[in-house]
Amino acid sequence: MTEVLLRNAYRAHERGNRNEAARLCREILRQDPRNFNALYLLSFVLSQSGQLNEAAALMAEAVKVNSASADAWYNQGVILQNLNRAGDALVCYDRALEVRTGFLDALINRGIVLLALKRREEALSSFEKAVAMKPDDSEAWNNRATALLELERPGDALASLGRALALDRKNANAWSNRGVALQRLNRNLEALESFAQALALRPDNFAAMTNRASVLMELHRHQDALKDLNHALAISPDYVEGLINRGIVLNAFKDEAGALASLNRAVELRPDSAALFARMNTLMTMKKFEEAATDCEGLLKLEPDYKYARGFLAFFKLQCCDWRDLDENRLAVRTAISEGKRVIAPFAELALSADPEEQQYCARICVEDRYPAPIHSLWQGERYDHRKIRIAYLSGDFNNTAVATLIAGVLEQHDRQRFEITALSFARSDNSPMRARLMRAAEGFTDVWAYSDGEAGALLRQMEIDIAVDLAGFTGNSRPRVLALRGAPVQVNFLGYPGTMGADYIDYIIADKFVIPREDRQYYDEMVVHLPDSYLPHDKTRKVAERTPTRAEAGLPEEGFVFCSFNNTYKFSPELFDIWMRLLRAVPKSVLWLPESNSAALRNLKREAEVHEIDPQRLKFAPFISAAEEHLARLKLADLFLDTLPYNAHTTAADALWAGLPVLTLTGTTFAGRVGTSLLNALDLPELVTNSPNEYESLAMKLATEPTVLAELKAKLKANRETQPLFNTVRFTRHLEAAYTKMCERTQRGERPTFLAVEPIPS
């Protein structure tokens, strides 16, 4: 009777009648609960119907009855794999292979779950065995390529995919993977062709659409990428990779709410490292640093060596003024950099490290990983013979930003008889008056936000630019790959990034003798250019609002000394905060005026004040003011600006000095930590430069308690603002032009870049 029911159950299943097959199997199991075939078939039928938990329980019983069934172990592995129980599935595939050593499907699926478990080398080993077992299996070669891609071996993956496609030109998955490999090799146009092949074979291949969108994003064709992603998610709404990429694209469009919604869904479906890293980046752009840090911690629990994650966590905690494990993070980052690991982004490293050699290694690691130079550059040694030297400024800050504020006057003051000035903007217009001003200041202004890196680099070559000046470095909206393509004979690192780019395709870095002393030139892969005053330009036409607000309007007490530090919170350090708290304790009624930043920073700063037994009410927080002239006017309410270390105030310090507020600096050991010294020397105010924490604290105390000394310094600052070089935009521009001329002349003579020192023009 049982055999008849079993035959009928198999026949019903073959005819596609799953309900009847299941009914017959259940009838058999009522009579014989340990009937292997009924358990096996019922489990298989239920798994096909999506009832995976019951199917898993039944197959578990089946393998208890017959542990020698390779098929049962295999199918249990498939069910558990579909339940996202990769570790349990792996055990089942291993048991299947113990029973049947040549079980190809079990070997392949074993590799797939090993990839899910991030055991990539073991996964590759499984796929290697599969292709050795059946070298004419196209999908086995494709799976091998998948492992190689995860191991960051795109060249080897491409070779494996060549084998897969030679065996089966209609393998859509292999075409899609080939596109991914080509993308990783920076062969984006070829990658698009591969994705087109994949989609021609399978128009509903949402994975290929998502991968193609990734290439389109790299090519800055964001609108086309979004179209692909929306199409992919219409087919498979919960496809995690599609949700991740859509979040990234929407973030590029500044649709932060849409980006976060897409990424939240991705993390909800699959809280793995890729989803968490993407959401972390969006939270960072939204300045939600505490939430970004939480995602980073979750990511590191999954993958302790996930590239750049440990450094991002340290940076987010600096943004939040959470210094509780700062020493541990500093040591971990320093150790990882010394081992050549991709542990921190170079900009974050500037705020964490006081070692210029460590910063150099960090930059080199990042360039090798993300921005390597291609084999052939766009400029091939051609000699241009232009009547005017053609300068192109490249930046993601040609909007209402600090960099724009600094460079605008220089662009306007360039000698148009000798120089032709072009600007390439990596950021879309914010429609601000500053954007309009910059567009007027440059003879040619091109928005290259939607250009690929190759197109932007080719534009430099097509325009026969003599000197490409990168104002972005590793800061936001930067595009180092454009410089990697070498579209100009001379390429310069200037202003936006206070450190080396660690790249052999950047020829010079604009500096001065204070920010890069001669003995430190070895820590810069560029040739150093010393301008005679300060490397930092200024716009002497900047307005300060005529009306200064009252202390009450600014949220300050009517009486008492006002220390201030209007830096970004990531520049604050526990070492200097200790000094600041001692100053508040020693100077009655004094307050510390800081920028109103993220809520976590405010909370942590108040907590730190309490630890130092200082009333948190003595910390005053200034809200952001969009009108620069009004911010400059309120700076007059402060008595002394306290600089930070290891990363000094830059534009912020210049703002304070322009407003007539003395800046007390502490000279550091890196470019970023010596800018205050540079500015003050260019104002002939070396008496505000200190060289040790004790000297810094003592001088701050003296200025806060001896009004006559402070008044004399303020008077000297007011006079020097008009007479000393720091705010002389024309003088600065002439010095910069002298540097550009020397660079260009060396190139014309076929000479390599070298250290340059510009002689000061007569006052």
The CA dihedral of 451, 452, 456, 462, to the nearest 10 degrees, is -100
Q: Which tens digit of pLDDT belongs to each residue from 452-495?
A: 999 999 999 999 999 999 999 999 899 999 999 999 999 999 99
Enter the tokens of residue 509.
């870095």
Which pLDDT score is estimated for 8?
79
**Cα dist from 104 to 62, 74, 100, 391, whole Å:** 22, 11, 9, 61
Strand arrangement of the beta sheet that strand 619-622 belongs to:
619-622, 591-595, 562-564, 640-642, 663-666, 689-690
Instruction: Report the run of H or E that residue 528 belongs to, with start and end.
Output: strand 527-531
Q: Is the dihedral of CA 564, 569, 573, 578 positive or negative?
A: positive
Which pLDDT score is estimated for 225?
97
Angle of CA points 696, 697, 703, to nearest 5°:
90
Give the other-Cβ count within 10 Å of 333's Cβ. Answer: 24
With H, G, I as helix, E, B as strand and everything else as coil, classify residue 405.
helix
Which pLDDT score is estimated for 1?
61
Distance CA 44, CA 10 (A): 11
Amino acid in position 227: K
Distance CA 76, CA 86 (A): 11
With H, G, I as helix, E, B as strand and everything else as coil, classify residue 111.
helix
Q: What are the residues facing 690 on neighbouring strands?
A: 666
Domains of the chain, CATH where assigned = 2-199 (1.25.40.10), 287-370 (1.25.40.10), 389-531 (3.40.50.11380), 562-727 (3.40.50.2000)
Enter the tokens of residue 108.
């392949």
Distance CA 514, CA 329 (A): 29
Which pLDDT score is estimated for 186?
87
Q: What are the residues facing 389 on neighbouring strands?
A: 419
Determine contact, residues 700/583, Cβ cutoff 8 Å: yes
Which pLDDT score is estimated for 28?
81
**Cα dist from 651 to 17, 215, 271, 566, 573, whole Å:** 74, 36, 40, 10, 19
Which pLDDT score is estimated for 7?
82
Which pLDDT score is estimated for 43?
81
Q: Which tens digit of pLDDT belongs to each residue from 534-552?
A: 999 999 999 999 999 999 9
User: Which segments in the chain show pLDDT lower than 50?
Assistant: none
